[in-house]
A and B are shown apart, each in its own frame.
Chain A
Amino acid sequence: MPQQVNRLVVVFLILGGSLTVARHYMVPKTFGALGHYRAAAIDANASKPEVYAGHEACALCHPDIAKVHDEARHRSVACEVCHGAQAAHVESPADHKPPAPRQRGFCPLCHGYDPSRPTGFPQIDPVSHNPGRPCITCHNPHAPVPPHTPQECSACHGEIARTKALSKHTTVPCTTCHHVEETHKINPLLSTPTKPQTREFCGQCHAQGAKGAPDVARVDLSTHGERYVCWQCHYAHFPEVP
């Protein structure tokens, strides 16, 4: 081989070698081990300290409260929702005391009435619901129940009550249309209230020949929407004529 070529080969070898060495020092150690990234970054992400201990950790030292809590309505509410992040308390219980929110402003974060909240979620109007008194004077936050069995449907079904109050049905009591077992007030899911199952039920007021005030809307049941029960088209808590 001519000598010029040999020299060129040497030059390229040196260039290649120095590139390899430079790459070794400049590319992070674990880059490319698992993909186009630094594998060590996974460990960096995984090694951060925890701030929330988790409700299992709380139950280890506070089994009495955990037992009450786990059988009550707030069983899905983890301890640290109200008491704050407590990994530090688990580490050294004496140095970090968990706070307990006793002021009235905290509970409405979840239980204040909001039209965007799902129907059936227990909500109160913080302005009118026993103003000025902290929630915990009547309700045990670990096992919350209403202090008295609710007498009014609006205690739980505030959204419907508010809507109905603005509608033409405002003077019709809930129990006119719904049959409610007494057990529903104590354990709501044990027996659910009934709904009218026949067209004739609404017809008692709204059929052509029905007794009652003359300004009540009346339809001929034989020709009007014969395939449906009335509430399948008309929202009975806020009846509107389409």
Chain B
Amino acid sequence: MTPEAKPPQAIAGAPEQVSQERREFLKQCAAAAPLLLATIAVAEGVAAGAEEPNYKPEEHYYGMGISVNKCIGCGRCVDACKTENNVPREPFYFRTWVERYVITTDGQTVVTSPNGGIEGFPSTVSEKGILRTFFVPKLCNHCANPPCVQVCPVGATFLTRDGVVLVDKDYCIGCRYCIQACPYGARFLNPVTRTAEKCTFCYHRVVQGKVPACVEVCPTGARVFGDVTARSSPLARFVRFNEIQVLKPQLNTEPKVYYANLDGEVR
């Protein structure tokens, strides 16, 4: 053995005690690892078991149909939505709202939505010079390709397997990116929780087999809710018997709110 090879041996030999402790520590770590993995597995198993027993999300894919020529602008849907979902009553916080379009003979398009239409529409518009006028209910379009989900930095908004865009309000950091990203203006920041909020298709009702509150109260049947993919659902029938348009199709967001008899002026 050459003299150059000696020093490492001497160094390794000196802190014999330390080396022993390290070995012990690593052994303990190795022993603890399976325990840790087991804990993770159990925790995930518990969370997965918390889903509704009878509801199978993969069997559904929800959408809504809106007949513009049936809407009477009574605003019952806006009121029902706020009641069902505990949305702040002040103006500017809406999960759904109704707009009145007035297209005048001189080519102007005037869109109004006083307090979202929750108290109806005061009929102060002069009838003179109106070419066309109608109401358009609006809400989150539950896009199949949602821009709001793309921009969320923390994964607090997502598209579920049954085609509903939801917000995780316990995980949302309130950065408002999604509000900026939504091309339909369907989101707002809840002033109480300081988290983003939007239409959920009344997900808590839907999993019970009920329809969203706005569909429940619509007196003229202007709103239709159901499975997009099902052969027989109220929505499938609606899509089959109407000429369907969606809002802002050029954005490729693939909305799942389908409008029948939609005027070309509606944006």
Contact = CB atoms under 8 A, between A and B. Distances in A.
Interface of A: 3, 10, 17, 21, 24, 28-31, 33-52, 54-55, 74, 76-78, 80-81, 84-85, 108-110, 112-118, 121, 162-163
Nearest to B161: A34
B76 A115 contact: no
Contacts of B216: 52, 54-55, 78, 80
B80 interface: yes
Contact of B43 (A29, A36, A52, A109): A29
7 contacts: A10-B26, A33-B44, A41-B170, A52-B80, A76-B221, A115-B123, A163-B127
B230 to A, nearest CB: 20
Top 6 closest A-B pairs, CB basis? A41-B168, A37-B158, A48-B204, A77-B219, A116-B133, A30-B47
A38 B158 CA distance: 9
Given A39-B47, A43-B51, A109-B74, 14 more contacts: A28-B171, A33-B47, A37-B157, A41-B166, A41-B169, A42-B203, A51-B83, A51-B84, A52-B83, A76-B221, A80-B217, A85-B83, A112-B123, A116-B134
A102 B25 CA distance: 79
Given A29-B43, A46-B207, A24 B158 contact: no
B100 A76 contact: no
A44 B195 CA distance: 15
B155 A117 contact: no
B204 A46 contact: yes
B84 A41 contact: no
A138 B75 CA distance: 25
A109 B76 CA distance: 9
Interface stretch (B65-73, B89-97, B186-194, B245-253): B65-73
A28 B154 CA distance: 11
B208 interface: yes
Interface string B204-245: 110110110100110111000000000000000000000000
B120 A109 contact: yes
Contacts of B213: 51-52, 85
A41 B208 contact: no
B31 interface: no
A49 B204 contact: yes
A49 B84 CA distance: 9
Contact of B123 (A47, A78, A113, A163): A113
A89 B47 CA distance: 33
Contacts of A162: 127
B36 A24 contact: yes
Contact of A109 (B57, B75, B135, B156): B75
Contacts of B221: 76
Interface string B134-177: 11000000000000000000011111110000111111000000
A50 B205 contact: yes
B89 to A, nearest CB: 14
A52 B48 contact: no
A85 B72 contact: no
A161 to B, nearest CB: 12
Contact of B219 (A48, A81, A118): A81
B1 interface: no
B121 interface: yes
**B52, B76, B134: which has the most chain A beta carbons within 10 Å?**
B76
Contacts of B83: 51-52, 84-85
B56 to A, nearest CB: 13
B99 to A, nearest CB: 10
A116 B130 CA distance: 10
Contacts of B44: 29-30, 33
Nearest to B83: A85
B50 interface: yes
Contacts of B101: 116
B170 A44 contact: yes
Given A45-B166, A46-B203, A114-B73, A38 B220 contact: no
Contact of B80 (A41, A76, A85): A85
B200 A50 contact: no
A158 to B, nearest CB: 11
B8 interface: yes
Nearest to B75: A109
